[in-house]
Each structure stands twice: as C-alpha cells, then as structure tokens.
Amino acid sequence: MSFSLNIFILSCLFFIVSAKNHTANYEKECEEYDRYLKEFQKKYSVDEKNRRLKYFMRAQRKIDLWNGEAMNVGGKAKFGHNNFSDWSPKELRALMANQKWTTNQAEDDLVSLRLVQLLPSNMTYSANDSTIFIDWRQKGMVTAVKNQGGCSCCYAFAAVGAVESALAIAGQPLRNLSVQEMLNCVGGGCRGGAPYNVYKFIQQNGIVLDTKIAYTGKRQTCTIKRSNITISQAPALRGEAALEGFLNATGPVSVCFKAPWSFIKYRTGVYAPNPTECNKTKTAHCVLAVGHGVDGGVPYWILKNSWGLRWGEDGYARFIKGQNACGIENRSANGPIVNSN
C-alpha cells in the first residue's frame, strides 16, 4: 500500500515540476487525475499523460459548473467523470453524430410510407411521484448497450437498436444486428449520418447479424449480403406526443437532438439541459428512446446511448420530456415496424 502511495505521489510531483504554469489547484487536480486513471484503468506514456491532464482539468471545472443550478434547469441531474474525461475536444466531437444540425424534416420522411399524425404536446403531469410508464427493457426487448468508440456513428446505433427491438417485439429472437454493415454501406460512415438512411437501407436490403459483420469502428468496403431480417416501414413521428404514443403502443424509437457538451458528463438523474447550451451546439446526437416515466414531477424519456456501460445510468440517460428540450422533436423520430404476416 505504501508502495503504490509512493508511486502516486511521485507521478504528481513529476507533473508539478514539469508544468510551465500551474494554479494553486494544480496539485490537487493532478492527484485526482491519478486516482481517475487508476479507476478507469488507463495507462499512458509520461508525455501523453501530461497532455491529457489539461483535458481532465477542464472536465473537472465543467462538471463543477454543470452540477450548479444554472446549467441544470428543471432536472436533478448529476454530472461526473467517466471514460471521456481526458479526451481531447476532437475526440469528444466524434461521440456526437458530427453532423450539422438541421430541421429539414422532408429528408426524414423519405423512408416513411406514412406519417404519423402530430398529436398535441401539451400533456400535463401533476403527479409528484416516480413512475415508469413504459420501459421496453423490462419486457426484454432491448439489446445490450454498445460502445461506438471514436467513430461518429450514433445514428447507426440508434436506428439499428430500434430495428433490433422492433423485430423482437414482432416475435423474432432478440439479436444484435450489424451496425458495421450500416457503417460500410450507408451515408457518411464514421463521419456522421441520419437514421432514416439506415432504415431505408434495411427496408431495401435487410441487415445481417453482428456476428456476420462485426463492429470495428472504421468504415470498410460495403458488401451487401441480402438478408431476410428486415422492416416494412419506419414512420416519422412528429412531436413528443406522437413519440410517446408510439413508445406506448408499438416499440422503441430513434431520436436526435442538439447535443450539448454537458451530456457527455451526465451521470444520473433527469437531464434537463439549459436552452442556451442547446442553442450553442451545431451538431446532432442520436439515441434510442426505450421508455418514459416521471420522477419527482419531472417527466422524462429513457434513452439508450451508445457510449458504453460506464456512461450515465448503466449506459442510459433520463432526458427531460415535454419541452422539446434541445429540439428533440424538431427532427423526426422514427419507429420501425415489422410486418408480422
């Protein structure tokens, strides 16, 4: 124990001596970084560690800021360190779809054979309880949380996740399908894209199991293998009420929203981003809505992310519902449907 303590102190001393300029907090933050590296089992060369320490310190300050009231409107979310705390801004950008935010819903409709009617989104929640209205995980209809790594392909994980659930709900086995096939064959690969392109591809060609084309996180040559695993349609759902109706009655839905940086540091609670922060961002992030509920009077969506199990609430987030937070209803959500006859 004293041995590891010595190593720990030595490594921080090294930083303090080698740093050109540091604040009074430097030593403390450096020690915290060492603890962090241990907890997340990361090992770096001295140079890389020195470089990443400043990203970690920046993350630390952001977490303190976001845990304050002002950036956490209406919700009770907590922010904290995770595997991304010492990633560079460039690496962090890859977590998001890296796709310019647009509200061109006409594009989303390409894949739809029909458009589900826009329902009023002025539902009120007076209850001050904690209730889950629907959670498709509890019904065994959602595959395990995946990890996209450094590839900007959340749109593919969101759409494929929705298809995995739709097939299981239609009575087929719950199986992991090939996100990699979508990366190889659809749209922008690791440079971002939109779920509707994935649905369109699956409608036309089907999708293979992930054991056939395993995830590498890099775009590779597209070889379309025809598959009878397919969907019949993926209607665009306009408005949070339409999304709720589909979730209640049919199954999980892929959704995209303007991705605020604080989402990366989300740990637990109902995430309720400050509209100012949403407005600042220009990129979209796509995830899979698998349910909804209300916690202490605050309604939320249950969102399955593709950033691994150690992010958020075991890979999931609860995201405030009913206020079009971060424009969640400005791009159409899509819920795939499987013909059961």
- Between CA 233 and CA 241, with CA 235 as vertex, the angle to 5 degrees is 150
Please, which residue, 181 or 329, has the CB nearer to ligand NAG? 329
Q: Least CB distance from residue 190 to ligand NAG, whole Å?
A: 15
Q: Least CB distance from residue 178 to ligand NAG, whole Å?
A: 11
Residue 273: HSE in the Cβ half-sphere, 13 Å Cα cutoff = 24
Binding site for ligand NAG (CB under 6 A): 21, 23, 42, 83, 103, 120, 122, 124, 128, 133, 143-144, 146-147, 172, 174-176, 228, 239, 241, 244-245, 248, 275-276, 279, 296-297, 308, 324, 327, 329-330
Q: Least CB distance from residue 126 to ligand NAG, whole Å?
A: 11
Q: Buried b / exposed e across 229-264, counting CB within 10 Å, b at 16+?
A: bbbebbbbbbbbbbbbbbbeebbbbbbbbbbbbbbb
Please, which residue, 38 or 133, has the CB nearer to ligand NAG? 133
Please, which residue, 49 or 200, has the CB nearer to ligand NAG? 49
Please, which residue, 223 or 226, has the CB nearer to ligand NAG? 226
DSSP H helix total and E strand total for the chain: 10, 11
Could you say which of 274, 305, 330, 334 is catalytic? 305
Rounded CA gap, 121 and 214, in Å?
A: 40
Could you say which of 30, 154, 256, 326 is catalytic? 154
Rounded CA gap, 261 and 160, in Å?
A: 24
The residue number with the shortest CB distance to ligand NAG is: 296
Please, which residue, 128 or 204, has the CB nearer to ligand NAG? 128
Residue 61 vs residues 30, 49, 79, 278: alpha-carbon distances, Å: 13, 18, 11, 19
Residues 337 and 233 sit within 8 Å (Cβ to Cβ): yes
Residue 175 vs residues 87, 98, 229, 281, 338: alpha-carbon distances, Å: 32, 28, 10, 34, 15
Q: Buried b / exposed e across 127-143, counting CB within 10 Å, b at 16+?
A: eeeeeeebbbbeeebbb
Q: Least CB distance from residue 224 to ligand NAG, whole Å?
A: 16
Measuring CA to CA, which residue among 153, 98, 150, 59 is closest to residue 282?
98
Q: Least CB distance from residue 1 to ligand NAG, whole Å?
A: 27
Pairing of strands 236-237, 130-135: unpaired
**SS3 label, residue 237:** strand
Q: Least CB distance from residue 276 to ligand NAG, whole Å?
A: 4
Please, which residue, 1 or 24, has the CB nearer to ligand NAG? 24
Rounded CA gap, 143 and 174, in Å?
A: 7
Q: Least CB distance from residue 2 to ligand NAG, whole Å?
A: 29
Token reading at 248: 């209640």
Pairing of strands 115-116, 298-304: unpaired
**Any catalytic annotation for residue 154?**
yes
Please, which residue, 9 or 307, has the CB nearer to ligand NAG? 307
Residues with active-site annotation? 154, 285, 305
